[in-house]
């Protein structure tokens, strides 16, 4: 790893630590679930916002259940205020458990009913192309969401129309509503499926910023090449990542934290963050 | 559509792979703004929502039943909740697909659309209405659904398209209908037609009851509604509430509507209309009963 890369990774580790602490506090205050969903995609969202996206780009969180991670990310980028964050889950809030419609400029569509995000991203991307705009749409889907047929309709459309301004990221944590993806409806070989649809597929560790940055660079090369192809990143992740009692469990989709569990989560996340940063500083 | 496109360039036409010998001129005129989204209506509607979010005016075309029912949640969430100007166009409202059979008939499309927030339904009556409706839809910043069918041919001068149109006066009863199914009244006998004051509804949700119509209902006391749509969610139900709300409550209300497939057999649009009592002798019988009753 170059010194430059290590420095960028340290910056991203600091960001994701801040984002994670914020959404853990939000979940605790609200006594709410879906914590595992947010822990699964925290690094993905931070990586997109702080290492890839330009001001004109948009993230579409098709897996709307991780809305707290998105809200926290937007707060981290100073696009949501502290008082908006404080209102999460409160009566009369603009920030419900899943993303709202027409309330937050950076959230173009209310998501959470699964299988919509890739299609609306395709529409906005085609719209930008027709407008002659150089705008990109980063669509984060879950893996359980891939059961929805509409995802594959969108995948066909994006590949056929070479909408290279849609960048598709699959949060591949192997857990869906009430079971493991491979036990419910087999998705593997997912990379081969996406390739067969016409995508350039990059599989990475979705919690490791060095891997994510390498995926970004590979995707950028592919997207610039002619004829190139639209890109999909399979981000291999762990549901409830970083919190031992949540990791890789269906329960982490649903259960809120007790006081003791919240303290434990903070401790573990803090310890992991310190280790990650130390490791990067030594490597850099 | 082609002439509208000449006036404004923000239109995008999205078809769900239908429109053989119908959309070729649009495809030529629209160029890269004509998109065949394939047989994938869910994606087509969400795609259109995204296009609208990017500042375009998308029109989504398919058979009525495929435009409305296959992508219903996409219409609800991505279009209606967000108040985006997506223009849904469904060809073959009612039994218009005839012998194609039940999977191609749209008998609940209007009801399904009129319960959605921010959605306005347009139902043309005669061929001249369609261009007027398309212009109105292009000007409306909200979601719309256009129910197309085989246009009625109605004698005499028809007023320009409007939410409410009085088509003719009559002696005994008020008939209120939606769309080309009104043709059946004009195809019945002349004496019967003389008894009927006929009104056409062009848009839903209903824009109140016109004072002239309310007065007529209070005077004649008998109302017949006619629509090529199931009773549930249709014009008759909408009018029932509107009558109560405005205090123009008739003594009798006969809602003539699609009966589905009572014989379990299939035929032309006319066959199904006759089975439902919406055309021909079965319609005459029901009208006479309603008027006498």
Indicate yes or no: CB of A120 within 8 angstroms of CB of B52: no
The answer to whether domain B2-147 and domain B164-292 are alike in fold is yes
- Of B263, B244, B266, the residue nearest B253 (C-alpha): B244
Q: Which of B225, B125, B209, B212 is nearest to B169 (CA)?
A: B212
Contacts of A15 (CB under 8 A, 6+ apart): A46, A50, A76
Please tell me the total number of residues recorded for chain B in this structure: 293
Q: What is the pTM of this model?
A: 0.97
Question: Between B43, B48, B83, which is nearest A154 by CB?
Answer: B43
pLDDT value of residue A228: 82
Q: Which of A96, A100, A119 to mutate to test the interface with B (most CBs of B within 10 A)?
A: A119
Record the tokens describing residue A25, joined without a space: 């506090």
Determine what percent of chain B is predicted with pLDDT higher than 90: 96
Is B77 within 8 Å of A116 when comparing Cβ atoms?
Answer: yes
CB-based contacts of B29, cutoff 8 Å, min separation 6: B1, B2, B5, B6
DSSP characters for B119-184? -EEE---BHHHHHHHHHHHHH-SS-EEEE--S-B--SSPPPPS-SEEEEE--SSEEEEEESGGGHH
pLDDT per position as a tens digit, B138-162: 999 999 999 999 999 999 999 999 9
Instruction: Choose the mutation target among A107, A117, A118, A120 for the interface with B, i.e. most B CBs under 10 Å.
Output: A120
Q: How far is it, in rounded angstroms, from Cα B62 to Cα B88?
A: 8
**Spatial separation of the C-alpha atoms in residues A141 and A169, rounded to whole Å:** 6
Which residues, in sequence order, are bridge partners of residue B164?
Answer: B201
pLDDT tens digits for range B207-240: 999 999 999 999 999 999 999 999 999 999 999 9
**SS (HEC) of chain A:** CCHHHHHHHHHHHHHHHHHHHHHHHHHHHHCCCCHHHHHHHHHHHHHHHHHCCCCCCEEEECCHHHHHHHHHHHHHCCCCCHHHHHCCCCCCCCCCCCCCCCCCCCCCCCCCCCCCHHHHHHHHHHHHHHHCCCCCEEEEEECHHHHCHHHHHHHHHHHHCCCCCEEEEEEECCEECCEEHHHHCCCCCHHHHHHHCCCEEEEEECCCHHHHHHHHHHHHHHHHCCCCCCEEEEEECCCCCCCCCCCCCCHHHCCCCCHHHHHHHHHHHHHHHHHHHHHHHHHC
- Beta-carbon separation of A128 and B32 below 8 A: no
Q: How far is CA B193 from CA A23, A243, B88, in A?
A: 69, 77, 35
- Interior/surface letters A123-141, b for 16+ CB within 10 angstroms, e for the rest: bbbbbbbbeeeebbbbbbb
Give pLDDT, residue A2.
Answer: 77
Six-digit token string for B60: 């989504």
Give B66's contacts in chain A (Cβ within 8 Å): none
Which residue is it, tokens 């998109």?
B35
pLDDT of residue A1: 72
Q: How far apart are CA B188 and CA A157, in angstroms?
A: 49
Identify the pLDDT of residue A284.
62
Query: Nearest Cβ partner of A121 from B37, B50, B82?
Result: B50
Q: Which of A119, A123, A124 to mutate to test the interface with B (most CBs of B within 10 A)?
A: A123
Under an 8 Å CB criterion, which residues of A touch B? 101-102, 108-110, 113, 115-116, 119-128, 130-131, 149-150, 153-154, 156-157, 160-161
Between CA B27 and CA B15 the distance in angstroms is: 10
Which chain A residue has the Cα nearest residue B34?
A130
Tell me, letter by letter, the H, E, C secondary structure of A247-281. Answer: CCCCHHHCCCCCHHHHHHHHHHHHHHHHHHHHHHH
Q: Pairing mode, if any, of strands B120-122 and A231-236?
A: unpaired
Give B78 to chain A, closest Cα distance, Å.
Answer: 7
Per-residue DSSP letter, B84: -
Q: Do A102 and B82 touch (CB under 8 A)?
A: yes
Between CA A98 and CA A262 the distance in angstroms is 21
Cα–Cα distances (Å) from B117 to B47, B77, B121, B135, B138, in that order, read 20, 10, 11, 22, 19
CATH topology (fold) of B164-292 = Rossmann fold (3.40.50)
- What residues of chain A lie within 8 A of the CB of B74, using their CB? 116, 119, 150
| Residue of chain B with shortest Cα separation from A126 | B51
In chain A the domains, ranked by start, together with CATH numbers, are 3-64+112-283 (3.40.50.970)
- The verdict on a CB contact (< 8 Å) between B53 and A101 is no
Which residue numbers of B have CB closer than 8 Å to A's CBs? 12, 32-33, 35, 37-38, 40, 42-43, 45-56, 58, 73-74, 77-78, 81-83
Q: Where are the domains of chain B?
A: 2-147, 164-292
Identify all chain B residues contacting A113, using CB atoms and an 8 Å cutoff: 73, 77
Phi–psi pair at B268, nearest 5 degrees: -70, 175
The answer to whether A123 contacts B81, with C-beta atoms less than 8 Å apart, is no
Torsion B52-B57-B62-B66 (CA) sign: positive
For Cα atoms B242, B246, B248, give the angle at the middle one, nearest 5 degrees: 90
Taking the CB of residue A228, how many other CB atoms lie within 10 A of it? 13
The 3-state DSSP class for residue B226 equals strand
Which residues in A lie closer than 8 A to residue B52 (C-beta atoms)? 123, 127
A·B CB contacts under 8 A: 105
pLDDT for the residue A3: 78
* Tokens 């009558």 -> residue: B243
ipTM: 0.96
* Burial class (CB within 10 angstroms; exposed 0-12, middle 13-18, buried 19+) of B67: buried
Q: Is the dihedral of CA A80, A86, A91, A97 positive or negative?
A: positive
Sort out which chain B residues have CB atoms less than 8 A from A160's CB and list them: 38
What's B57's DSSP letter?
Answer: E
B33 neighbourhood in chain A, CB within 8 Å: 130
| Exposure class string for B254-278: b at 16+ Cβ within 10 A, else e | bbbbbbebeeeebeebbbbbbbbbb
Class of B2-147 in CATH: alpha beta
Using 50 as the pLDDT threshold, list the residues of chain A that sit under it: none
CA distances A83 to A26, A35, A75, A80, A95, Å, are: 12, 21, 10, 8, 11
Q: Is the pLDDT of residue B177 over 90?
A: yes
Q: How distant is the Cα of A75 from the closest Cα of chain B, in angstroms?
A: 23
């Amino acid at each position: 790893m170059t010194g430059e890369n290590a420095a960028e990774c340290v910056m991203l580790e600091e960001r994701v630590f801040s984002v994670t602490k914020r959404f853990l506090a939000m979940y605790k205050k609200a006594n709410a679930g879906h914590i595992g969903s947010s822990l699964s995609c925290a690094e993905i969202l931070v990586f997109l916002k702080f290492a890839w996206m330009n001001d004109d780009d948009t993230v579409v969180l098709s897996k709307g259940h991780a809305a707290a991670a998105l809200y926290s990310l937007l707060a981290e980028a100073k696009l949501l205020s502290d008082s908006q964050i404080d209102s999460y889950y409160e009566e009369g809030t603009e920030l419900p458990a899943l993303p709202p419609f027409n309330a937050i400029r950076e959230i173009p569509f209310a998501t959470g009913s699964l299988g919509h995000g890739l299609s609306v991203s395709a529409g906005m991307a085609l719209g930008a192309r027709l407008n002659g705009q150089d705008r990109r749409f980063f669509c984060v889907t879950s893996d359980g969401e891939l059961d929805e047929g509409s995802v594959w309709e969108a995948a066909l459309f994006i590949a056929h129309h070479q909408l290279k301004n849609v960048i598709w990221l699959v949060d591949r944590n192997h857990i869906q509503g009430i079971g493991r993806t491979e036990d419910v409806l087999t998705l593997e070989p997912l990379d081969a499926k996406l390739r067969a649809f016409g995508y350039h597929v990059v599989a990475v560790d979705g919690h490791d910023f060095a891997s994510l940055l390498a995926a970004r660079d590979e995707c950028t090369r592919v997207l610039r090449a002619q004829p190139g192809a639209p890109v999909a990143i399979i981000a291999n992740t762990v549901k409830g990542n970083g919190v031992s009692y949540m990791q890789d469990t269906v329960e982490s989709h649903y259960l809120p934290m007790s006081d003791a569990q919240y303290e434990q989560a903070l401790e573990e996340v803090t310890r992991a963050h310190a280790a990650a940063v130390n490791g990067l500083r030594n490597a850099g | 559509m082609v002439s509208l496109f000449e006036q404004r360039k923000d239109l995008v036409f999205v078809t769900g792979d239908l429109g053989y010998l119908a959309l070729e001129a649009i495809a030529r005129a629209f160029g890269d703004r004509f998109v065949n989204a394939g047989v994938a209506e869910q994606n087509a509607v969400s795609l259109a929502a995204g296009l609208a979010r990017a500042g375009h005016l998308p029109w989504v075309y398919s058979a009525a039943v495929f435009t409305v029912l296959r992508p219903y949640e996409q219409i609800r969430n991505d279009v209606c909740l967000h108040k985006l100007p997506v223009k849904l166009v469904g060809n073959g409202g009612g039994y218009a697909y005839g012998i194609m059979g039940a999977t191609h008939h749209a008998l609940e499309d209007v009801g399904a659309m009129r319960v959605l927030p921010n959605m306005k339904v347009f139902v043309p009556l005669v061929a001249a209405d369609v261009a007027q409706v398309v212009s109105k839809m292009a000007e409306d910043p909200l979601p719309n659904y256009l129910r197309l069918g085989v246009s009625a041919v109605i004698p005499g001068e028809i007023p320009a398209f409007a939410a409410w149109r009085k088509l003719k006066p009559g002696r005994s009863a008020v008939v209120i209908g939606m769309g080309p199914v009104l043709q059946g009244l004009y195809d019945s006998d002349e004496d019967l037609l003389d008894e009927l004051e006929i009104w056409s509804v062009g848009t839903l949700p209903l824009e109140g009851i016109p004072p002239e119509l309310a007065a007529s209902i209070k005077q004649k006391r008998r109302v017949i509604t006619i629509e090529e749509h199931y009773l549930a969610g249709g014009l008759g139900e909408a009018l029932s509430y509107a009558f109560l709300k405005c205090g123009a409550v008739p003594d009798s209300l006969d809602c003539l509507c699609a009966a589905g497939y009572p014989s379990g057999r299939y035929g032309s649009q006319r066959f199904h209309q006759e089975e439902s009592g919406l055309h021909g002798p079965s319609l005459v019988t029901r009208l006479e009963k309603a008027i006498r009753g």
